Each structure stands twice: as C-alpha cells, then as structure tokens.
Chain A
Amino acid sequence: MYAIEVKGLSKNYYQKKTGKYAGLGQLSSDGETVEGVTFNVDKGEIFGIIGPDGAGKTTLFRLLTTLLTPNTGTAKVDGFDVMTDLKEIRQRVGYMPGKFSLYQDMTVEENLKFFATVFNTTIEENYALVKDIYQQIEPFKTRRAGKLSGGMKQKLALSCALIHKPTVLFLDEPTTGVDPVSRKEFWGMLRKLKEQGITIIVSTPYMDEAFLCDRIGLIQQGLFLQIDTPQGIIDHFAHTLWAVQSNNMSKLLTDLRRHPAIDTCFAFGNVHHVTVSKPELTTSQLNDYLTEIGHEDIEIHAIQAGIEDCYMQLARKG
C-alpha cells in the first residue's frame, strides 16, 4: 500500500481577482475537460514538490489534508479516501501550512499542549518524537508564539504538526525566506523523522533542496512536468549544456543569445549556462566567435545539468 495514492486529481477554481482558473490540474480552454494529476508516494519517502508560487502546491496539500474537496479524481492518504474518510485522515496527518497558523497569543507550551489535547494525547506521550526539535525552543516555552523569530516559529509549527504522531507529514514551503544555514538544519530534522518511518510531503521553491528528497515532482501551472528521483530527472536532460564565462558577463549574456546555434542562455551564479541547438558547434568554435567580438578570459566547459536547468527546459516545453 502506498502512503499516498492520487489519480486524476484536480481542483480548479475561478479566481475573481485574476479572471483566470487557478489551482491543481488544468482545464481545457473551453472549460469542458480537465487534466488532473496522478502520482503515488511510498511509505517513509520524502517526496518534494518543487515549483514557483501559483503552481498549485498549496491546493494539492489542502486536497490531501481534506481541507478542500476535489473537482475530479480520487486520492487516498494512508489508505483512506479524502472524500469519505475525513476523520481518519485528519487523525493521521500532520500539516504545517505555508503561513504561520499557530495561536499568536498563546505561549509556546500552550500551543503544543493545545494541539496535543485536540488529538486526544499529551506532550509527554509523544515527547520522544518532537524532542530533538522542541528542545531547541523549550527554553522559551513561556514566550508567546507571536513574539518568536522566524526560525523558532518554524520549529514550533513543526512540533505542533508532529505531536499526535502522524504517519504522513505535509510541509508547505517550510523553508521559504529562511537562510541557507537554517535551511540545511531543517532538512537534517526531516531526515531524522524519515528514519522513524514518517512519510513526508514537502514543497519548496528552492531547487537546491531537490537532492534532499527521495523523489521530486516538478510542478507548473497545476500539472507535474516530471516526477522522478533527482538523479533520474537529471539523467533525462537531453541537451548539450555548457558553462561559459568571460571578462564581461552581462555582454556575454546578450552575445550568447544572439548566436544562431545557441538555444537558451541563463545566468547561473558566476557562469552562464547555454544549451546548444546545433550539435556541430564545438567549444573552440564558440571560443573563436566570442574572441572575435571582444571577449577575453573566455572559459567554456561541458557540464552536467542541475535540477534548475531541467526545470527551465521542462517549463519551456510545458
């Protein structure tokens, strides 16, 4: 049995403010037919959902936690149906929404106690599960949740989502706006939870977090572009990819884009990544071309694609 089983799931709603349909899945232009999403998540897996704002990540989370009902399709969480078994699912899942949703006027300890009580348990009963995370904020247990820093709010929210010992944990953009060091720490906590057999569905806009997941789904405009292991997604990258640099990086960007044999060119930190559309082009030919138009200190290397390269290629086609 899968921890999560999703078939043809969609939830499109008309957004008055944008005048468009948003959510999960895609409606045909006449609004008649709908394409939903289909995927499974294994027990104990860390499944990452990676994509920008508005791609449908939060809608998917709300459907799977029974906070929304789908337009089409079916979904099972831990074997229970999201349409008919709301109570069972709600007892089994932990959900950390993207927006901080604890009680700001209650203290750290009161919040945790509250969530434990709602689920008919106590902090003591499941302390072992939250210990590593909660201990870091325990010195501030009498502080009101609204007065906590971002990093501490995040730890409290995770503790509250875990205190009833869920089998499946949903984390909606837990690391957005968090600095790189704290992000790494947070992912360390997730790995420990995985070791205890908890299935984790986590969304993120940071492509560099892909490799911390067992499998990832790249999502855009309500549909998955691809679902695979991070390595699998990279192995599917079918283009020749070069990293190019010179003494004038902003001119280099324009010059590379003008070259007829170059398909795409994007800045990637201190180099530009280009995909080559004509296989006859060699690195030394490109070097000559760039030298001729005034570039110096040119370096061109063939490189392996990263998740971000893959996302941009897939998004272009999608």
Chain B
Amino acid sequence: MEIVIHTDKLTKQFGNFTAVDNISFEVEKGEIFGFLGANGAGKTTAMRMLCGLSIPTSGKGLVAGFDIEKETEKVKKSIGYMSQKFSLYEDLKVWENIRLFAGIYGMNSKQIAHKTDTLLQQLGFESERDSFVKSLPLGWKQKLAFSVAIFHEPKIVFLDEPTGGVDPATRRQFWELIYDAADRGITVFVTTHYMDEAEYCDRVSIMVDGRIDALDTPKNLKKQFNANNMDEVFHQLARKAQRTDN
C-alpha cells in the first residue's frame, strides 16, 4: 500500500507554546482521513505544516513523497486545498476560476479547456459557465470549490471544515463527491465539526492539546471507547484537554 502522508514526531512550537506536539501517523493512498480535534487542539497548525505553509520546529514529514521542510514547493504542487472560508474568487466567473487555479498549478490551456467541459458536464453546471461565482448558491459554490481543488489531479486534497453552513441534503451530496474522489485514488484529508461526518471517514485521528490521542477506524474507536457513536468518542477525549483555546 502506498503511503502518501508520513509524519514522524512532527512538532511546532511558537515561543514556549507547543502547538503540535510530536505527532506521528501515516495516511494511505485513496484513504478518507478525518482529522478531528477541539478548537485550539492544533489541527490548523498541523495542516499548515503538511501543506508546506509552515516549517516544523522538529520532526519530519513527507507529503506525496516530498519533505515538508525542504521541498515545500513540490509539496504544494502535489496537493489541493479547500476551506469554508476561502475557496473561489467571487468576482470571477465559473470558468475564470477554473482557468486561474488550473493555471497556477501549471496546466496548459488545452488541457484546461478540455477538462473544464467535462467537469461542468459532470456537475450539471454547463449553464453556469459564465455566471459569477458570487451568484451561485452556497452549496453549488462548495461543490465547485472542491472540484477546482482536485482539478489538477493532486495526490492529496486537504479540506478544512468544507461543509459549514449548508443544508443537510447538500452536506450529504458534498460527501458523495468526496467518495468519488477517493475512489479515483485521491487521498482526502478532512477536518469537520460534524460528528456524523467522522463516521464517513476510513480512519479518524483526534487531537488533544497538540497530540494525537486516538487514531483508528470509526468502528474500532467506538469499540475502544465503549461508545455508541463518534460524538461520544470525541467528548470522552476532548474533555480531557488541559489547555483551553487561549
């Protein structure tokens, strides 16, 4: 099995505050990996290091085979990223957003033109090609943002709370897109505050005070913590947190 994310005692300190504390884990190709933790547990810092945006204080990390300390540009080219807060440019049209992001990732015009047609068809968005992104409903924006994040066929896509604020049906349609991407071999690394979504992941890690305190399949975690659902598992672990999100 191919390992696409590998960390060994990865640590990030800000002054004397250890935001990420010695985390070691591996993620396999095509896996949907849920990265959970309370606010302030260190998720964002860890994710920034994995995306090549922040250099670790100590420890090692390989993403798509590249060193997250020394090969940050290669890391960035191998991944896709989407968050609820930032995804697409509102003042650009649908096709312009695709063109821009694909161009940044080094795809040529011919490739982009061809793939844009296919993508819009798959999403049923052909009629929206020339619409400004700001005119789309939130659920559509999120689907489009996800599709743009994986447009250049990255090995891994990082999703930071991708489903905030949408209605329950749209939230589920979004997960169906995630399943499709994983079936095509794209590894999905996702954070969420919806505990039912933790159940949709192949494996889940839970961060507490900068450490990974639990990591397994949802089924095994529930067994291990003698819990009925992931919400109970999360509460048992997060309640032990010493640090508040100051």
* Shortest Cβ distance from residue B10 to the other chain A in the assembled complex, whole angstroms: 22
Partner-binding segment picked from A71-79, A145-153, A281-289: A145-153
The answer for the CA separation of A220 and B138 in the assembled complex, in Å, is 13
Q: Given A53-B138, A267-B200, A270-B218, do A181 and B235 touch, yes or no (CB 8 Å)?
A: yes
**Interface membership of B48, Cβ < 8 A:** no
**Interface membership of B223, Cβ < 8 A:** no
* Shortest Cβ distance from residue A223 to the other chain B in the assembled complex, whole angstroms: 14
Query: Which residues of chain A are near B39, meaning CB under 8 Å?
Result: 149-151, 177-179, 182
Partner-binding segment picked from A26-34, A87-95, A124-132, A307-315: A307-315
Q: Whose C-beta in chain A lies nearest to the C-beta of B166?
A: A52
Contact A268 B196 (CB under 8 A): yes
Q: Whose C-beta in chain B lies nearest to the C-beta of A148?
A: B246
Say what secondary structure dominates the interface of chain A: mixed
Contact B38 A179 (CB under 8 A): yes
Encoded as 1 (CB less than 8 Å from any A CB) or 0, chain B from 163 to 180 comes to: 011111110100110010
Contact B245 A151 (CB under 8 A): yes
Contact A266 B170 (CB under 8 A): no
Encoded as 1 (CB less than 8 Å from any A CB) or 0, chain B from 223 to 246 comes to: 000000111001100110100111
**Interface membership of B135, Cβ < 8 A:** yes
Contact B193 A51 (CB under 8 A): no
**Interface membership of B137, Cβ < 8 A:** yes
Encoded as 1 (CB less than 8 Å from any B CB) or 0, chain A from 22 to 58 comes to: 0000000000000000000000000000011111000
The answer for the CA separation of A199 and B25 in the assembled complex, in Å, is 48
Query: Which residues of chain A are near B172, meaning CB under 8 Å?
Result: 266-267
Residue of A176, A179, A184, A220 contacting most chain B CB atoms (<10 Å) = A179
Contact A177 B164 (CB under 8 A): yes
Between A and B, 16 residue pairs with Cβ closer than 8 Å are A52-B167, A55-B167, A149-B244, A149-B246, A180-B234, A181-B38, A182-B39, A208-B231, A267-B172, A267-B175, A269-B200, A270-B199, A308-B168, A311-B167, A312-B168, A315-B167
Q: 7 more A-B contacts (CB under 8 A) besides A181-B238, A269-B230?
A: A180-B234, A205-B165, A253-B176, A266-B172, A269-B196, A270-B218, A312-B169
